[in-house]
Chains A and B, each alone.
Chain A
Amino acid sequence: MLNTPQQRTFAQIAEELADDEHSFPSGILPHPQFDAAMRTFHLLYSSYRMFLVVGPSGVGKDALAMSILSALNRPILDSPDLLRAVMVTAASAQGRAFSMLELWKDTLYAMNEPLVGRKHDLDGERRHTQEAPDLGLTPTQKQAKSAYDLRRYVCRAAKDRQLKLLLIDEAFAIVKTERDRSLLEQLDALRNLADAAPFRIALVSTGRILEKFESSGELARRMRVMHFPRYGSPLGTNGRPVAHSDPVADRKAHLGVFVRLQNELPESSRLKPTPHQLEDLYSLSLGCVGHLVDWCRRAIIHCHHSGRDQLRWRDFTETPLSKATLDKLRKQSDDSESKLQALCQPPAFSKPDPPPDDDPTPPVGPSPKKPRSRRKGVPHATRYGKLREAKRNGDT
């Protein structure tokens, strides 16, 4: 049985964090940006067959994906047959170029499909299919090897598993091709699958994927984009500038995550940071919660290896990301935000939108008479009134 967080000592937590498989005991830490991203994801999930989740590195995209996975595969549906969401990675572990065949194979493995390499071809004799479609197909001896065959197996397995969502992580690998045509074909294949199968496809990627979107209008038209912003970002989850940005609130929310991380530790082991240190924690983690969590993890492990059980600021100053890395990450996130802003910027309409307070529905019946101002001593700004006043003053 697992210990509760209060019962764990600092050394236990540090040893578990040293293993990459373990995270903080509380798991995923919800925070305002995460909640906003989750709401937008839910909106897109309920409206579109395929969409893209973009965000800078370390902002918490994987945490979002894992949270959605666990929410869809919640214990109430914990039947050994059903599987509501799976996540696969588009980037090849061997560093090879992306191929749809590998993606379908990974999807089948993620769905725990048996004997993927020994499946037979389904294009058998059509006779029985026409006569008795419910009997199933009569397969031939040929082994299934093409991506088309595997895609059909994915479709069939998804129907049997009642799959609702396929999350494709590291989706920039799909667009990492020189030819726009093959890229469009691959995305068409994904879209066709999403249309044929009863599930949605969500591509999760950093802003690198937007380079192709910038150059191909056709691609940009086909894909709905959702932004998972970092704290301090000028853009919202729809990729447009935020109307009322509040840097102080962003900073508070970001540092609230740090406070909650500290609460996982025993009280005697916690750091009591000064305002300057808090400012450093915010600025050197680039407003990304993932970077902050990783930094805290490194600091705790450093503290444990130093033979202490109380965090000091020195543990943080010795374990930050390097300046070059931070500069690169900052530049990447700035670039992708500017690209995303350009991509999501609405066109100029001939007639501007009415202000949000106005009632958009026109009134029924005759238009009501405009009420006259009841303030005394203020002349009506009518043309007639102005002319009369000018005549009185002697101007012609």
Chain B
Amino acid sequence: MKPRVPLYGRFPFGHGTPLTESLTSFVTRLSHARSNSTTDVLKYLVWPLLPEPPTEQVGWYLHRGCADFDGLGTLSRAFVRAIDQLTGRSQLALHTLLPWESFLNPGFPGALHRGAKRWCSRCFAFWHQHGIPAREPLVWRVSKVRRCPVHRTVLSHLCPSCGKQQPIMNKRVPAGVCTSRGCGELLHKGDPLLQSGDVAPEPGSDDCWDIWTAIAVGRMLSLQTEMDDHAGSFGLVRLLVESAQRLGEGKSYRLAKHLGVSYNLIYRICDGHLPRLDYFLALTMRLGEDPSEVALAPYGTLFHKPWASYGTPGQPWPPFSWSRINRRVRYSAEFRSGIGRALDAATQEDGRRSLTEIARSLETSAPGVRYHFPEKAAELARLHTARRERERVERRAAQEKAIRDAVVQLVRSGIHPIARQTFALAGMSGSMHVKWMRAIWRDQKQRCGILD
């Protein structure tokens, strides 16, 4: 009798669909099915099977390091092999991005989102309503995807009940439930996105790009088996060469100018370098092709049919400029309004949080926020700077007073106030701001008439 595997009783969901379950989500469900925490399973079952023990703590992998397991690269491959061994299953690599290694750059770590968890509330609500176990599809984890490929709604990243972010792998609670201590609500409960219907994007809008990306990536994920066997980089090279003939009169730099990308990018791809995921998506979209067909195209196939199945019928895709693509990904109308609300709230708090903190909590960057909300950002920056200056002055005054009291106390005790004793008596650590504190200390000693 063959030995039975320790992780059993659950199957990975969504194979061959856009909502293919991610491998980390499968591991989380397996752990919970066996009443063990995900941390314990990773630490005691998975880690010993990896060729090299991970350098980080387990908790770091729950929050940020899952991209290493579900993405591209050696750690992902080792993780898949370990889970294969623990579950007795094969083809678990189809629940990661490993089948895309043949046409995407595996050295680029940004293919998967490294921040907080993102989810589609309508998917969770549907599964909950129909008694289907909740899971986390891989498409929600791809960094360029901002919408659900099925419902086309924006992915949420804050619990509607407590407003907190969620780690990517849950330690103990099942998927679809808030992990915050004291909350524990369902993540789709009370989400305003549940009330919104299907989105009808205007051609050329930011939503259009978001929906196109979500559906294209979903389609690529649904063809994982074919990707694993037949995908390659020939298709993109062939597409660029053909497009250069068609659009750039045979010149690569003219094609680059037409597409709004650098010549170096096209040159390197044609030279055999594998592109990043975002470049791959942008190039295929600009050239009007289906990314999955480009990835699966055998060598020698000519692209002749315009790909229009995902856009609005009869409406051509608008000409994008490459420099605006990233901003279009980030700043849809809904997202912009969310940033505006967050800036207003921060202004009312008298600049307690900085612009960078707010941008990080909204998964964006401070320059981007400044670009779209220059006045609000400037007002917030002014308030925050004033508040910091005020706090600095107060802190310095308090420290001056503490050091002076310590010096006076030491002198009265008949002890020469050397720096270490003074700082210890004042309750300060000498390791930070040493120069500044020493300056205060010397000043106070001079005022007390003590000379070294």
Contact = CB atoms under 8 A, between A and B. Distances in A.
A135 B9 contact: no
Nearest to B40: A118
Contacts of B35: 119-120, 122, 139, 144, 153, 156
A221 B132 CA distance: 44
A134 B40 contact: no
A114 interface: yes
Contacts of B45: 114-115
Contacts of B184: 125, 127-128, 138
Interface in B158-199: 172-174, 176-177, 184, 186
B172 A139 contact: yes
B8 A80 contact: yes
Given A128-B184, A144-B35, 4 more contacts: A80-B8, A115-B41, A157-B34, A161-B4
B133 A114 contact: no
B1 A78 contact: yes
B188 to A, nearest CB: 11
Contacts of B172: 120, 138-139, 141
A83 interface: yes
B5 A119 contact: no
A112 interface: yes
Contacts of A112: 3-6
6 contacts: A80-B89, A81-B8, A111-B4, A114-B41, A119-B35, A119-B36
Q: Which 6 A-B pairs have the closest CB atoms?
A: A80-B88, A160-B9, A114-B6, A81-B8, A134-B131, A80-B5
A149 B6 CA distance: 19
A233 interface: no
Contacts of A82: 4
Interface of B: 1-9, 32-37, 40-41, 44-45, 87-89, 128, 131-134, 172-174, 176-177, 184, 186
Contact of B9 (A81, A128, A134): A81
Nearest to A156: B35
B128 A132 contact: yes
Contact of B177 (A118, A133, A138, A161): A138
B36 A118 contact: yes
B34 A80 contact: no
Contacts of A111: 4
A70 interface: yes
B49 to A, nearest CB: 13
Contacts of A156: 35
Majority DSSP secondary structure for residues of A touching B: loop
Interface of B is mostly: loop
A114 B128 contact: no
B294 to A, nearest CB: 38
B402 to A, nearest CB: 41
A337 B321 CA distance: 94
B174 A113 contact: no
Given A114-B34, A135-B128, A144-B35, A128 B177 contact: yes
Interface in A119-174: 119-120, 122, 125, 127-128, 131-136, 138-139, 141, 144, 153, 156-157, 160-161
A104 to B, nearest CB: 13
B133 A135 contact: yes
A321 B133 CA distance: 61
A156 B10 CA distance: 12
A308 B152 CA distance: 84
Contact of A161 (B1, B8, B89, B173): B8
A79 B40 CA distance: 25
A73 interface: yes
A113 B35 CA distance: 10
A53 B44 CA distance: 39
Contacts of A114: 6-7, 34, 36, 41, 44-45
B203 to A, nearest CB: 40
Given A118-B40, A160-B33, A70 B173 contact: no
A136 B32 contact: yes
B132 A134 contact: yes
B174 A138 contact: yes
